[in-house]
Structure 1
Amino acid sequence: MITLQESFANEAVIKLPGGSSNFKWLQMLKVILRPIESLEETERRYGDIFTSDLGVFPTQIVISNPQAIQELFTADSQLFESGSGNYVVQPLVGANSLILLDGDRHLQQRKLLMPSFHGERMRTYGQVIREIADQVTSKWVIGKQFTARSYMQEISLQVILRTVFGLQEGKRYQQIKEVLVEMLDTFNTPISAIFLFFKALQRDLGPWTPWGRFIRRRQQLDELLYQEIRERRQQPEANGEDILSLLLSARDENGQPMTDVELRDELMTMLFAGHETTAIALSWALYWVHYVPEVRQKLLQELNSLDIANADPTAITQLPYLNAVCSETLRITPVTFFSFPRVLKQPMNFMGYNLPKGMMISPCIYLTHQRPDIYPEPELFKPERFLERQFSPYEFIPFGGGNRRCLGSAFALFEMKLVLATILSQYSLELLDKVPLKPVRRGIVFAPPGGVRLMVKG
């Protein structure tokens, strides 16, 4: 990895960093297994714009400079493709996922999905979210420890199955839940996540091998999703307010419905992107609120100003300190460390450098959120910073930005605030992991090690 300045012999041609292929593989392993140390060390050495050539990934420019991020997010989206830069997630979500689409298809699918996550439709989900949070946390026992991530995963998965699929408790509901959790757990350690990054390892050598086990679980999940799609197509009158109903009734400009495969890939995207990420964010929020006692005290004071159990969900989500706590959680421990990369479809002058066609530009969420010039004492959890000033969409980027900003960001924050408020207004919890926790890789996302151990106090 070298500075962007060092990458150029002149401003017209980029020169790639040297190094043997073995060295690049070692660097790649370090990035996968020890991402924070790797990113911080590289930024210290090369600054907030540098090139990275690790052999496995395409050569890319990593940016954590807000001016560069603004230039990227506000540039004409026709200059880039993004799908090809997200190939790592294809085994999880499928080739027709919004994450992997570009151009007109991406725009069309985005327009189709957008109403599902905004306005009145989303507000109708508020009561569902609170009911699920109540039901799942009712299993907690005073004096008995539990792991936050497993319970937050249960809440977020139930929310997805109810709001996206319209599924109530039942056989298929239970089957989808079990298989999805097993599938995601295939990559639940930094070592097992390596399979997602090295295509050479993605071989089905039988049910006892990691990739073979993943493939079989994915096939099981596919069968369940296709069964649900077929049954819903045959019973259009049964369609309701859920997102699958919306997608089943949607038509393109030629009057054609989405194919079963397209539906499956978008459902997989929402299962993956809307479930694991929200569960991890909630786990981090519970950790930070209890790791910094004064934050918990201030938050409880604000929550006590409302009758949370009977308050309108929108009123809860508009509480300023609750919003600040959720924002600071996403700043200090973002669930993903990089926003979607952009791959140049033609040469471009970027921040004064002439970049060639095919160059990838990757905004680094983690490094941007750790800048002391934007966030003084960035290693400290201080929700007050979000009350004292408003950060630009190029300084605070937990959901990415531009035309690739996470479509479900409003829904994720809505769910995060409601679940956190529901839990804290009912339970007095004690953090058992009273030590600094550093994010560890879980597939392509970053979770608290150990899942955050808590206990209900009497």
Structure 2
Amino acid sequence: MKLPPGPKTPSWLIGLRFEINPFGYMDAISKRYGDIVTLMFGSTPIVYISNPLGIKEIFTNTKEIAARGELNQDFALMTGNQGVLQLDGLIHKNRRKLLMQSFHGARMQACGRHICELTEKMMNKQVIGKPFIAYPTIEDITLRVGIEVVMGLDKGERCEKIKQLFVYALRVGQSLRDKILVNIFGQRDLGQWSPEGYRLHLRRELFQLLSAEVKERRSQADFSRSDMLSDLLFACDETGETLSDEEVRDLLLSPIFAAGDASGTAITWALYWIHRLKDVRSRLLSELDSLGENPDPMSIVGLPYLNAVCNEALRIYPTQLFAFPRLVESTVEVMGYQLNPGTILIANIYSTHQREDLYPAAKEFNPERFLEKQFSPYEFLPFGGGSRVCIGGTFALFEMKLILATILSRYQLELVSKRPERPKYGGLICYPASGVKMVMHSRRQHQGQSQTFVVSSV
């Protein structure tokens, strides 16, 4: 077997360089070695691919290449052993189908107005003229939406506790202190003061609350509810049996994490670019204002320039930098290389989105590129692809458009700093390093009524 080229750097040094400057490191690797690169982690070759034809090969070849759930075991600590990421075969196919039905058109349309109302309610808490960090504010909105869509919870003590535990779980391991401790002690449980110990503590608390909600809801047997939890409680598995409480609990976790983390990050990045680039904001406001006051959410979702802005935000700093890994199970040729069983294949989403042949001036934020060209799912893949494509990708884009439209239409915001926002990598997600510091100057009236802005302290 002749592997694709790649650095001979030890895996610990690769990890350190990636931690310090992930995007600079990936850019340098792509420039030197091309769009198929091998990194060795011990004796296991991991081949990263940023060529659309190569990505198509690994997503569509299910005979020699498998998207094994065991490759995602690192996520099982917080998503459960029976979460959709850890499942395989017919079981995985069945559970994906059960989860996907919660995101069908009629249900999404019904929750669209609520997303707009919740966004306005949360944004109205900001004090006029007082700077705030956008990311936690947006994350609060997306987590609340996620918990309501997934579990049907929108208020009460249990709802608030679950939301808070998800926030804590998303934060653990991201601080410099946590990273230093992990480098020194590894993934060892040394009590709640250690990242792993604290993560296990959060897991116990979160799983206990989710299990209590599942048991309570099963005892109620309310067929009138239309959330993902209700769907799962009354669903049957591939053998015709109802799912256990533990299975239902584990299946709830990934969609909520994705709703809060990936969606919140993407919306925050979009807010940054929109307010950094005057022409983008002006064109987007004109498009939004063309719908009149209080437009129907489905009209908002159909706006072409808003869609282009969202896609460009997901392209330039995709929330998911890599697709979930695949395993070569029998000898296969990929992009002219003969790869042996045991080789890991990963689609490099970030580097694919940075290809100059696909996206000229790739470092520039240019929504117009999505109005001028239709990209294939192997050229633009912010939610991964193949059998492991994010089940909530369509809903995430739906939510992103409505939250952005509500904020832009109703509030006059400005970035506090003129300095470029730095990206920061954590887990699978690409966060804005400072969280995007903004200030609200006023409430914005619809432009058809007035060309002025109204200062309010609502």
TM-score where L is the length of structure 2? 0.92
Q: CA deviation at 1:34?
A: 2.3
Q: What's the secondary structure of 2:382's corresponding residue?
A: coil
Q: CA deviation at 1:341?
A: 1.4
Q: What's the secondary structure of 1:222's corresponding residue?
A: helix
Mapped contact 1:328–1:386 kept (Cα < 8 A): yes
Instruction: Decide which moves more: 249-258 or 447-456.
Output: 249-258
Mapped contact 1:308–1:421 kept (Cα < 8 A): no
**Pick from 65, 89, 99: which aligns with 1:113?**
99
Equivalent residue, structure 2, for 1:366: 350
Query: Per the alignment, do residues 375 and 209 of structure 1 end up closer, same or farther by CA in structure 2, a change over 3 Å counting?
Result: same
Instruction: Decide which moves more: 295-304 or 250-259.
Output: 250-259
Q: What's the secondary structure of 1:380's corresponding residue?
A: coil
Mapped contact 2:120–2:406 kept (Cα < 8 A): yes
Q: CA deviation at 1:195?
A: 8.0
Match status 1:150 vs 2:136 = yes
Equivalent residue, structure 1, for 2:391: 407
Q: What is the alpha-carbon distance in structure 1 between the residues aligned to residue 302 and residue 181 of structure 2? A: 41
Query: Per the alignment, do residues 188 and 18 of structure 1 end up closer, same or farther by CA in structure 2, a change over 3 Å counting?
Result: closer
Instruction: Decide which moves more: 68-77 or 101-110.
Output: 68-77
Mapped contact 1:232–1:239 kept (Cα < 8 A): no
Q: What is the alpha-carbon distance in structure 2 between the residues aligned to residue 442 and residue 6 of structure 1? A: 26
After superposition, the C-alpha distances for 1:252-299 in whole angstroms (9 at most, x for unaligned) are 243311112211211111121221110000100000000111000000
Query: Per the alignment, do residues 6 and 324 of structure 1 end up closer, same or farther by CA in structure 2, a change over 3 Å counting?
Result: closer
Q: What is the alpha-carbon distance in structure 2 between the residues aligned to residue 289 and residue 367 of structure 1? A: 23
Equivalent residue, structure 2, for 1:337: 321
Query: Per the alignment, do residues 89 and 246 of structure 1 end up closer, same or farther by CA in structure 2, a change over 3 Å counting?
Result: same
Mapped contact 1:308–1:425 kept (Cα < 8 A): no
Q: What is the alpha-carbon distance in structure 2 between the residues aligned to residue 88 and residue 435 of structure 1? A: 35
Q: What is the alpha-carbon distance in structure 1 between the residues aligned to residue 83 and residue 4 of structure 2? A: 36
Q: What is the alpha-carbon distance in structure 1 between the residues aligned to residue 15 and residue 177 of structure 2? A: 12
Q: What is the alpha-carbon distance in structure 2 between the residues aligned to residue 394 and residue 191 of structure 1? A: 38
Query: Per the alignment, do residues 50 and 199 of structure 1 end up closer, same or farther by CA in structure 2, a change over 3 Å counting?
Result: farther
Match status 1:250 vs 2:246 = no
Equivalent residue, structure 2, for 1:173: 159
Q: What's the secondary structure of 1:164's corresponding residue?
A: helix
For structure 1, the residue ranges without an aligned partner over 5 or more in a row are 8-16
Instruction: Decide which moves more: 77-86 or 384-393.
Output: 77-86
Q: What's the secondary structure of 2:125's corresponding residue?
A: coil
Equivalent residue, structure 1, for 2:29: 42
Q: What is the alpha-carbon distance in structure 1 between the residues aligned to residue 169 and residue 388 of structure 2? A: 26
**Pick from 254, 268, 279: which aligns with 1:294?**
279
Instruction: Decide which moves more: 71-80 or 151-160.
Output: 71-80
After superposition, the C-alpha distances for 1:326-384 in whole angstroms (9 at most, x for unaligned) are 00000001112101111122221222222111211101111000111110100100000
Mapped contact 1:118–1:410 kept (Cα < 8 A): no
AA aligned to 1:172 is R
Q: What is the alpha-carbon distance in structure 2 between the residues aligned to residue 163 and residue 295 of structure 1? A: 31
After superposition, the C-alpha distances for 1:92-122 in whole angstroms (9 at most, x for unaligned) are 2122111122211111111111111122122
Q: What is the alpha-carbon distance in structure 1 between the residues aligned to residue 320 and residue 122 of structure 2? A: 26
Q: What is the alpha-carbon distance in structure 2 between the residues aligned to residue 285 and residue 452 of structure 1? A: 10
Equivalent residue, structure 2, for 1:306: 291
Equivalent residue, structure 2, for 1:237: 222
Instruction: Decide which moves more: 409-418 or 232-241.
Output: 232-241
Match status 1:349 vs 2:333 = yes
Q: CA deviation at 1:189?
A: 3.3
**Pick from 124, 134, 137: which aligns with 2:123?**
137
- The sequence identity of aligned pairs, in percent, is 43
Q: What is the alpha-carbon distance in structure 2 between the residues aligned to residue 127 and residue 299 of structure 1? A: 20
After superposition, the C-alpha distances for 1:384-435 in whole angstroms (9 at most, x for unaligned) are 0000111111111101112221111110000000000000000011111322
Instruction: Decide which moves more: 115-124 or 294-303.
Output: 115-124
Q: CA deviation at 1:317?
A: 0.3
AA aligned to 2:405 is A
Equivalent residue, structure 2, for 1:279: 264
Match status 1:260 vs 2:245 = yes
Equivalent residue, structure 2, for 1:76: 62
Instruction: Decide which moves more: 187-196 or 435-444.
Output: 187-196
For structure 2, the residue ranges without an aligned partner over 5 or more in a row are 443-458
Mapped contact 1:129–1:419 kept (Cα < 8 A): yes
Mapped contact 2:67–2:388 kept (Cα < 8 A): no
Query: Per the alignment, do residues 92 and 193 of structure 1 end up closer, same or farther by CA in structure 2, a change over 3 Å counting?
Result: farther
Equivalent residue, structure 2, for 1:160: 146
Equivalent residue, structure 1, for 2:426: 442
Mapped contact 2:146–2:256 kept (Cα < 8 A): yes
**Pick from 210, 219, 226: which aligns with 1:225?**
210
Equivalent residue, structure 1, for 2:47: 61
After superposition, the C-alpha distances for 1:141-182 in whole angstroms (9 at most, x for unaligned) are 211111110111110011012111111211101111112211
Q: What is the alpha-carbon distance in structure 1 between the residues aligned to residue 166 and residue 120 of structure 2? A: 22
Mapped contact 2:318–2:382 kept (Cα < 8 A): yes
**Pick from 65, 87, 90: which aligns with 1:104?**
90
Mapped contact 1:437–1:448 kept (Cα < 8 A): yes
* Stretches of 4+ aligned residues off by more than 6 angstroms: none
AA aligned to 2:290 is S
Query: Per the alignment, do residues 137 and 370 of structure 1 end up closer, same or farther by CA in structure 2, a change over 3 Å counting?
Result: same
Q: What's the secondary structure of 1:423's corresponding residue?
A: helix
Mapped contact 1:33–1:190 kept (Cα < 8 A): no
After superposition, the C-alpha distances for 1:182-237 in whole angstroms (9 at most, x for unaligned) are 122112336636888x8972222112222111111111111110100010011002
Query: Per the alignment, do residues 335 and 194 of structure 1 end up closer, same or farther by CA in structure 2, a change over 3 Å counting?
Result: farther
TM-score where L is the length of structure 1? 0.92
Mapped contact 1:85–1:360 kept (Cα < 8 A): no
